[in-house]
Amino acid sequence: MAPTMVVSATNSWDITDFVVNQGHGVKGLSEMKLPSLPKQFIQPPEERIDASKVVCEKCIPVIDMAGLDDPKVAELICDAAEKWGFFQVVNHGVPIGVLEDVKEATHRFFALPGEEKKKYSKENSNSNSVRFGTSFTPQAEKSLEWKDYLSLFYVSEDEASALWPSVCKDQALEYMKRSELVIRQLLDVLMRRLNVKEIDEKKESLLMGSMRINLNYYPICPNPELTVGVGRHSDVSTLTVLLQDDIGGLYVKGVHDTWVHVPPIRGSLVINIGDALQIMSNGRYKSVEHRVIANGSSNRVSVPIFVNPRPSEVIGPLPELLEGGEEPLYKQVLYSDYVKHFFRKAHDGKNTVEFAKI
């Protein structure tokens, strides 16, 4: 049943309270079938996607992982990471059934009543590892983003089984487990081009010492052209592995301030380089700005896995690169400090990486 508001929808505090504090999220607003977008979500024109800047004839590479033993496939992966920072993979080994199940579980979680979802909000959650929220950082944003999310930080299977919501925990865990092989394969390939011969225990902690999975929900929006699903940003991860549904709406920044749509391909996973790997590769691999548009006709879900360094790791250009005589472009930064810097402000394109530049 759609939620009702006792107070006027024109009052800015009421809407923020309803969406952020009461647990209804933007899904609750969407279900009220408001005739127009509340002013709290109206983005300044420069933050909305300009149709004239969308390049339809370009697309990010699609790479068939079935031929991973072929050096040409490894080359395609590294070239895509250098040029685009984004690519899609097919025949990656994660069963279609696992992908479909986690998408269904995402819909199930967001179908829960607001009171139930609110148990996982920042104020109420039993753990910092489980967080339900709306937008990105509402307290720091001038305009809110049209998205709800459930963020699940993986500590251990026991903790996940105990604390993650029962309607989605099994499916989210299975998706993470089944994706680990393709994550390792991609990192092996990417590291080899950086003169790293082997991912030992120390390198594993640096590259993939922690993981987080988000269940994202983008409900139908009354004026999608006036807002964003997610604003311009790059990820702070080493790698992000994204499962999207068949609705579409993800855009990647191309050359000359253009934007390229990432079309949904059934069974594919979208891979993007995060800031941590851009820094570790001394700028060779690109962590690229991307954004999500709002949709006026369909509810959209996506499920990213953020593959991150352990928070206690210090990230900087890899010694294997500097030993070859490269000048470092980035300083050594405690990863947890980098992440805190990202989350204390609104989305702002590629500005976060400036935090680590020399």
Structure tokens belonging to residue 190: 């990417």
Inside any domain, residue 112: yes
pLDDT at 353: 79
30 part of a folded domain = no
Q: What is the mean pLDDT of the chain?
A: 88
Domain with 314 in it: 46-356
Q: What is the pLDDT of residues 167-195, one digit of tens each?
A: 999 999 999 999 999 999 999 999 999 99
- pLDDT confidence of residue 10: 45
Whether 303 and 291 have beta carbons less than 8 Å apart is answered as: no
- The low-confidence residues of the chain, meaning pLDDT below 50, are 1, 4-13, 138, 347
Among residues 86, 71, 107, 105, which one has the least CA distance to residue 268? 86
**DSSP E strands, 176-244:** 210-218, 230-233, 239-244
Residue type, 313: E
Q: What is the pLDDT of residue 232?
A: 87
Overall residue count recorded for the chain in this entry: 358
What are the Cα distances from residue 118, in Å, to 19, 40, 132, 200, 323? 11, 21, 7, 41, 51
> What is the number of domains present in the chain?
1
| Inside any domain, residue 197 | yes
Q: pLDDT value at position 246?
A: 95
**228 lies in a domain?**
yes
Has residue 266 been placed in a domain? yes
pLDDT on residue 8? 42
What CATH number is associated with residue 238? 2.60.120.330
**What pLDDT, on the 0 to 100 scale, is given for residue 5?**
45
